[in-house]
Amino acid sequence: MFRIKTIAIFALTIFTFAIPFGSIAEANDPVVYGTVTFADDAGHNDSAIISVSGIAPGSYTASLISSDGQQFKLSDVDVEVATLQGVVQSTGSIDFTFDSSSAAYDGTNLLSKYSRFILENSSNTYSASNSYANSASVSALVSSINDAKESANSLKTNLETASSSTTLESIQTSVESSNSDISDLKTAVENISSASANVKSTDESLDVSGVDAIVTNINTWIASIEANNSSVSGTSSLAVAQTYVGSASGGSVADSHAILNGLPDKFEYDSDGNRVEIPGAGGIHKAIEAAQGLGSLSVIEGDLEASTIDGKSVNTSVLGLGLPSVGDKFLTITMQLSLVLGALLVVTSGGILLFKKN
């Protein structure tokens, strides 16, 4: 009986240590101090918005790093430290936008080239990283939306020409020209859906629902324009044709504006009384912003923990011996399983020994 109690107590002790140990490991997830988000300025994805707070004061160098280790210095930036009720705070913030007005600007598509970021001085280092595969898939998604934007702009131009025309023949000619734009736009939208699916397959944690909802909007507006164009081509009345083509306030022209800019002034109020945009009201410009947000980098304290070799992400290992990196969830799970299996082994072995003794 004494041996059975001893084995049971030992097993329960191991289980007791296993639970808090796993909790401590999970609690070691790094604190996120802010983000680096890519945006459009003079070109596509040529702007980087750095927004961090709660970091140590000082002057920092902000740089982007490519998958093959090329470093691109954005700028030297200073932390802004606030004074609250006469007390200078111990940490501060950086809100800096790298764009066409910046000294180092060269028009590079930053999202397609850089997947890592570092903010450092002689005393402190903050960093952010994404996998090469994630950055590449998001960049391809943004590119596909920009292709759709070109077709949508051409469609809008032809429909606006039709709207300003004063004869039935000229309206029908411009509408006929817009049909090829519609065909190009439909193909481009299909490519957006494919690129969105690829982003999701690359990383299931990335939420592409915002882009997918806008694709649905665009297809609805395209169908409306196609129906209007058919009516214009089949009528012998100038007034009827002008009605279907419409203007910025209605008809096909309004739909072409919506494809690009979404539905203006579609807002509601949340429970706190804040004015918020109605979900699903966006167009191509909103889709670009949503896609770029998927490539946003989360800034944490410390040097970069990951690098890439031949386009593949490689975690920094403990002591460089190929072991899991510190804080790796695989390491946590492995230790927990080892403790549980160890406890089971003790109980099983003890039971076998007692059985044989008896």
**pLDDT, tens digit (0-9, with 9 covering 90-100), for 67-123:** 888 999 999 999 999 888 888 889 999 999 999 999 999 999 999 999 999 999 999
Query: 147 with 283, same domain?
Result: yes
Same domain as 71, residue 24? no
In angstroms, rounded to a whole number, what is the distance separating the alpha carbons of residues 277 and 181? Answer: 29
25 pLDDT higher than 50: no
Same domain, 179 and 254: yes
DSSP calls for 94-108: EEEEESTTSTT----
Backbone angles phi and psi of 75, in degrees to 5: 180, 165
Angstrom distance (rounded) from CA 117 to CA 126 = 8
- Percent of the chain topping pLDDT 70: 73
Tell me the CA end-to-end span of the chain in Å, nearest whole number.
12
- The pLDDT value given to residue 352: 56
Instruction: Answer yes or no: is 320 within a domain.
Output: no
- Give the domain extent around 49: 32-130+296-315
Domain contains 321: no
The dihedrals phi and psi of 33, each to the nearest 5 degrees, come to -95, -10
Q: What percent of the chain has pLDDT over 90?
A: 66
Q: What is the pLDDT of residues 283-307, one digit of tens each?
A: 999 999 999 999 999 999 999 865 5
Positive/negative CA dihedral, 337, 340, 346, 349: negative
Cβ atoms of 201 and 192 closer than 8 Å: no
Shared domain for 215 and 187, answered yes or no, is: yes
Q: Would you say residue 64 lies in a domain?
A: yes
Residues 146, 265 within the same domain: yes
Structural domain count of the chain: 3
- Does residue 122 sit in helix, strand or coil? coil
Is residue 253, in this structure, part of any structural domain at all? yes
**Selection from 13, 12, 7 nearest residue 349 by Cα:** 7
Is 202 contained in some domain? yes
Looking at the predicted structure, is the pLDDT value of residue 332 above 60?
no
pLDDT band at 255 (very low <50, low <70, confident <90, very high): very high
State whether 230 and 260 are in the same domain: yes
| 252 in the same domain as 139 | yes
Instruction: Give the range with max mean pLDDT: 219-233, 259-273, 335-349.
Output: 219-233
In this prediction, residue 39 carries a pLDDT of: 96
Question: Is 124 in the same domain as 139?
Answer: no
Question: Does any domain span residue 10?
Answer: yes
Does the pLDDT of residue 320 top 50, yes or no?
no
Q: Are residues 87 and 205 in the same domain?
A: no
Residue 138: closest CA among 290, 280, 260: 290
Question: What values do phi and psi take at 58, rounded to 5?
Answer: 140, 180
Are 251 and 198 within one domain? yes
Domain presence at residue 181: yes
Q: Show the tokens assigned to 15.
A: 């289980």
Mean pLDDT of 45-63: 96
Phi, psi of 256 (to 5 degrees): -65, -35
